[in-house]
Amino acid sequence: MSRVLITGSSDGLGLMAAKELARNGHEAVLHARNERRAADARAALPGAAVVIGDLSSLEGMHQVATQANALGKLDGVIHNAALGYREPRRVVTADGLSQVFAVNVLASYVLSSSIEMPRRLVYLSSGLHRSGQAALDDLQWERRTWNGLQAYSDSKLFDAVLSSAIARLRPDVLSNALEPGWVATKMGGPSAPDDLTLGAQTQVWLVSSEDAEAKVSGRYFYHQRPQQTHPAVNDHAVQDGLLAICARLSGVELPTDRKTRWTSA
């Protein structure tokens, strides 16, 4: 039996993945951003542990990591929490960061760096990552005119970059990204045409399956099938640049294999 944390799992795809894990005999650890959402999560999956923290703030990210570590060693983490592409304006967090970047990218980096490293990591990206721009010089949208769709696309590109970087720097970990498709969640909207169930099943498959096809690293999937990515995903300079910026913004270093090469300087 595996113990798996799923961020953003009080509803939507994250909760679906948690329920699927539980049905398969695994222990799902839920995450909610506040006590009210935590109550919803407990009602939806009785008996499951719930960690609480708002991933738009560094304080909340560290709260989630501390609570997760207190539960004992995790076998996997699914980085599912995200803000969508309909954000009409640039919102700045208490830490002075773009909220879309903080929740969609930096939180995944901080949790990956602060939670005792599990065997498997899964990052939710999007097909829109292929329209992303690897604009490392303006991650916070301080100079560009705000565009919610572009900010989201960029963030999903960086989620895939982070997944690939960890696969390179931590050969002891299976780190992969996926796109669930355009599915009928709060983010995707009620008319989204893709299969919601398959989006959750791919998360569960990557984080828990013993299939040889799932026990890989540095790959990108759609409905359990490998897909091509934006060229920046496997660009080591982009990977190292993103990691260095995230380390500087968060004050947290990604623990890496000593034989691998990366510096935050």
C-beta of residue 139 within 8 angstroms of C-beta of residue 230: no
Task: Please say if 73 is a catalytic residue.
Answer: no
- Tell me the three state secondary structure of residue 178: strand
Pairing of strands 174-179, 220-222: parallel
Candidates 109, 107, 108, 101; CA nearest to 140 is: 101
CA angle 237, 240, 241 (to 5 degrees): 80
Q: Give the CA radius of gyration of the chain.
A: 17
Q: Which of 85, 123, 152, 220 is catalytic?
A: 152
Rounded CA-CA distance 178/124 in Å is 5
Antiparallel, parallel or unpaired: β 174-179 and 225-226: unpaired
CB 218 within 8 A of CB 167: yes
Among 85, 109, 156, 220, the active-site one is 156
| 156 in active site | yes
C-alpha 56 chain-centroid distance:
13
Encoded amino acid at 212, one letter: A
Strand-pair partners of 4: 28, 76
Residues with a catalytic annotation lie at 152, 156
